[in-house]
Amino acid sequence: MTEADWSLPDDRDAVRTALVSWYEDDHRAFPWRETDDPYEILVSEVMSQQTQLGRVVTAWEAFLDRWPTVEALAAADRADVVGFWTDHSLGYNNRAKYLHEAAGQVVSEYDGEFPETPEELQNLQGVGPYTANAVASFAFNAGDAVVDTNVKRVLYRAFDVPDDDAAFEAAAGELMPGGESRVWNNAVMELGGVACEKTPACDEAACPWREWCHAYETGDFTAPDVPTQPSFEGSRRQFRGRVVSALKEYDELPLSKLGPRVRVDYGGDSGAEWLRDLLADLERDGLVEVERREDDGESATVARLRR
């Protein structure tokens, strides 16, 4: 797919200047936007993957109060890190495990200094292409154009870029000014999060791209489908979190005592077999340990947090 398949404006400099000026004049204040510390930015990126940004602020600040440096996190007890994740409802607990392991890699493999390019950052545990590029952009100003759901929506509406990943990547890369990934990626994501949400606020948010925007001109604000987060209530994620919380409170628990602490209707179809399956997931993720014990001729399966 070539640039001829969409309609980027001829005056790219004007488009870039308008967006950056709009962002610098007024944008949402998040503390991780005020730092270029790669550790602090990595923590914010991992936390933001499943949590609204407003809620991330409190968790991010509390996390950094407890583990202020990558060395402090690397030296932490993993069970404590996972417990923090659960206590702050930050989504899948294995992200806490990966963050802890990534900190250990930075300390042991990189002498405490973060790698600076998206390619190198992907060597860290749990750091995929998007997170690596975000850290490279915001910490080192050395990233590529970020393409997330919000950015896709902006490009689709403003410049009629087709709903195709390769097209979005190409258009985003063409628009981003060289060597300015920090301010540009912040600005274009802010545009998608403030002015060009599912329900657009073009005039209310003073969108800087109105004069070029195809959707604003035509009134057609359709956009690619946005995946919705499955309901947390009653989900497997919720029950995984309850297991971790219970095992954090008690050093270990037999399944007969753990089950009722995970769900009030424990038993039947949601009984021991269901709980063993849930624990098997957590064991594969390296979060819990499960052991079969014999005591006075009676056997019991016991679970505890892995340390």
Active-site annotation, residues: 45
259 phi/psi in degrees, rounded to 5: -50, -50
Q: What is the C-alpha to C-alpha distance for residues 76 and 70, in angstroms, rounded to an integer?
A: 10
For 282, the enclosing helix (H) or strand (E) is helix 272-284
Q: What is the C-alpha to C-alpha distance for residues 201 and 196, in angstroms, rounded to an integer?
A: 6
Q: Any idea what DSSP says for residue 291? A: E
Nearest CA to 130 out of 143, 113, 114, 115 is that of 143
Paired strand residues for 293: 300
Q: What is the C-alpha to C-alpha distance for residues 30 and 16, in angstroms, rounded to an integer?
A: 22
Question: Which amino acid belongs to residue 32?
Answer: W
